Amino acid sequence: MSSNSHPLRPLASVSEIDHIHLLSEQLGALVPGEEYSDVTFIVEEKHFPAHRVILAARCHYFRALLYGGMKESQPQAEVTLEETRAEAFSMLLNYLYTGRASLSSAREEVLLDFLGLAHRYGLQPLEDSTSEFLRTILHTHNVCLVFDVASLYCLSALSAACCAYMDRHAPEVLASDGFLTLSKTALLTVLRRDSFAASEKEIFQALCHWSRQNGEGSATQEVMAAVRLPLMNLTEMLNVVRPSGLLNPDDLLDAIKTRSESRDMDLNYRGMLIPEENIATMKYGAQVVKGELKSALLDGDTQNYDLDHGFSRHPIEEDGRAGLQIKLGQASIINHIRILLWDRDSRSYSYYIEVSMDELDWVRVVDHSKYLCRSWQNLFFTPRVARYVRIVGTHNTVNKVFHLVAFECMFTHRSFTLEKGLLVPNENVATIAACSSVIEGVSRSRNALLNGDTRNYDWDSGYTCHQLGSGAIVIQLAQPYTIGSLRLLLWDCDERSYSYYIEVSTNQQQWTKVVDRTKVPCRSWQTLKFDKQPASFIRIVGTNNTANEVFHCVHFECPTQSDTEVKDGSLGQASPFESSSTSQNPRPMRPSRTHSLLPSQPSSSSSSTSSQPHL
């Protein structure tokens, strides 16, 4: 019998008494009456009897007010609260006595006053809960008022929610009565956002109404400076802006000059911001406007494609005039694109991606025209406002056609680092999930080197190898990265040691040696750091094995997921760390010397080439 089932010991469910709901109800019954009260608050000429000990226990502000030795500390004191609404204060008292507040039944203006009291009296949990509720009821007619209050009280989460709502409904917000009530500070915060996606004409006309409502003067000049005049066409400047008389003629001339002398993509455009969501979909009005077999690119199907269907394409031409072009539903802020290159064989592609607002002026945001790439491409770049995206294939290792299965674009808040246009990864990209592959080397299982398994290897399997003096182990990453570290696990089921060197390349033709361990006996885990290099391919070449004529590697990762480095000149003993993506485990027991299959005698191989179907 367990200790918890002792016959004299009560069950846990009945040994703990929880009557908090009774406490809340009974204290709440004290709120409306004067019974036992010893202080009275006067708010808008209404009297609210209260019990100072309860208020002091629940709120530091009232503790200091009612027990601080001032006149409010006197018995039966009356305390007048200025700039306080009676309805909101009644809600606050009820919350302090019961811990409850019904927000859904309160009017919006009362909720904002209630939020103000929570902020004034330092009731942080109440302030957070009220802010969270307000975020759920934002609409065109209240968002400006809520934003003003949130800005006043420095409520960052609520302010951000209001800004995001106004960004997505900018034209409606500009036309609302609430827009006219915005303070100058709040107004400028909204208008200076690149993501406030309304036309400059609409913004200017709304500011004209705001100026008339709030009195023309220095404030008008300051808010009018937030209008991005070069984004307006000449007709709008002459027929809308100039007759208003709110802007200096020199400002108009400067805007016309900027418009005529600048590249279109250098203008400070506004765009819709929808974080972490693919906007290249029919839901958001995106469409493929150039290329062959257009319908497949945005259908969201990344599984059902083969030699005949499931992809869009264009012929690869020297002048780059061909390409696949997507028109987004509206001008949008993007900094992340994912594309799936056709990958049913081992072919690789090269390409570049450009964005535009007018289909005339294009800015290149990704340039992989000099690199070999395959399968999924995760691409990041400096945020850009774009209406059109163009993907231009420049090379296919099999034929003269560029094939694309899927396209996604979005804005992401994920942090990323670029060096010379290439992503510097902070997670292991040499994985099957990241679409990397082993294209040279012998193994019982294809891509065993990249499957993350550092436990299940022995004399027969779990490693990739090559004959010393002939060949190498070569890993192809899905796309070019800038890397400065590698980590690998040399086969270590006995006491043998290896020597090796490692090279990187972007095209399999020019190679740069980044690691030289040819004169160093190395064992087990190797954590290697070097000056950062662009790389699509990593070649590991064994030069010595103290046991036989084969080089064996169990695991490879890039970049290293550990901070420990094996120093040159040392035996590469198993490192005393574990990475997040691989777990280091005790090595397998060494079999008897009569074991028939040694690592130098692999039973099968995965070759670097496969049949190349013609698309």
Burial of residue 260, with CB atoms counted within 10 A of its CB: 0-12 exposed, 13-18 middle, 19 or more buried: exposed
Q: Which of 188, 179, 182, 267 is nearest to 226 (CA)?
A: 188
Write down the pLDDT at residue 6: 59
Domain annotation covers residue 488: yes
455 in the same domain as 440 = yes
* ∠ CA 473-474-478, rounded to 5°: 150
Domain region containing 221? 154-262
The residue from 416, 443, 460 where one domain ends is 416
Same domain, 342 and 400: yes
Residue 470 domain-assigned (yes or no): yes
Q: Tell me, yes or no, whether 405 and 472 share the same domain.
A: no
Nearest by Cα to 204 from 228, 182, 184, 183: 228
Q: Please report whether residue 449 resides in a domain.
A: yes
Last residue of a domain, which of 105, 137, 169?
137
Contacts of 606 by beta carbon, 8 Å cutoff, 6+ apart: 438, 441, 442, 443, 445, 446, 447
State residue 76's pLDDT score: 73
Q: Which residues, 6 or more positions from 419, have their beta carbon under 8 angstroms from its beta carbon?
A: 482, 532
- Is the domain of 447 the same as that of 493? yes
Residue 315 located in a structural domain: yes
Instruction: Examine the domain organization and report whether 126 and 172 are in the same domain.
Output: no
357, 384, 416 — which closes off a domain? Answer: 416
Residues 466 and 385 in one domain: no
**Structure letter (DSSP) for residue 239:** I
Is 461 in the same domain as 596?
Answer: yes
CATH number at residue 448: 2.60.120.260
Same domain, 407 and 436: no
Give the list of residues 6+ apart from residue 553 with CB closer than 8 angstroms, or none. Answer: 441, 449, 463, 464, 465, 473, 488, 489, 490, 491, 540
SS3 at position 416: coil
CB atoms within 10 A of CB 258: 16
Same domain? For 171 and 50 the reply is no
> So what's the pLDDT on residue 572?
42
Q: Is residue 467 part of a domain?
A: yes
Q: Which DSSP symbol is given to 177?
A: G
Low-confidence ranges of the chain (pLDDT < 70): 1-12, 26, 28-30, 32, 72-73, 216, 562-615
Distance CA 157, CA 132 (A): 8
- Map residue 470 onto helix, strand or coil: coil
Would you say residue 13 lies in a domain?
no
Closest CA to 234 of 250, 206, 255, 249: 255
Give the N- to C-terminal CA distance of the chain in Å, as an integer: 72
Going by DSSP bridges, is the β-strand pair 324-341/287-290 parallel, antiparallel, or unpaired? antiparallel
Instruction: Answer yes or no: pTM beyond 0.85.
Output: no
In one-letter notation, the amino acid at residue 397 is T
Query: Quick check: is 273 in a domain?
Result: no
Is the CB of residue 340 less than 8 Å from the CB of residue 376? Answer: yes
Assign residue 246 the CATH number of its domain.
1.25.40
- The strand pairing partners of 517, in sequence order, are 500
Say if residue 387 is in the same domain as residue 491: no
Q: For 540-559, how does the pLDDT look when each residue is reduced to its tens digit (9 = 90+)?
A: 999 999 999 999 999 999 99
Write the secondary structure of 249-313 as one string of H (helix), E (strand) and C (coil).
HHHHHHHHHHHHHCCHHHCCCCCECCECCCCCCHHHCCEEEECECHHHCCCCCCCCCCCCCCCEE
Vertex 141 angle, CA 106 and 44, to 5°: 40
Cα–Cα distance, 270 to 204 (Å, whole number): 14
- Residues 362 and 583: their CA atoms lie apart, in Å, by 47
Are both 545 and 579 inside the same structural domain? yes
Q: Which two tokens stand for residue 149?
A: 């209050």
Q: Using DSSP, state whether 365 is helix, strand or coil.
A: strand
DSSP 142: T
Dihedral angle, C-alpha 539, 528, 536, 505, nearest 10 °: -60
Query: Do residues 350 and 368 lie in contact, with contact meaning Cβ atoms separated by under 8 Å?
Result: yes
CA 479 to chain centre: 20
- Count the domains in the chain: 4
Strand-pair partners of 437: 476
Position 267 in a domain: no
Q: What is the pLDDT of residues 179-220, one digit of tens each?
A: 999 999 999 999 999 999 999 999 999 999 999 888 767 788
Cβ–Cβ contacts within 10 Å for residue 432, how many?
A: 14
Structure tokens at 124: 């942080």
State whether 343 and 485 are in the same domain: no
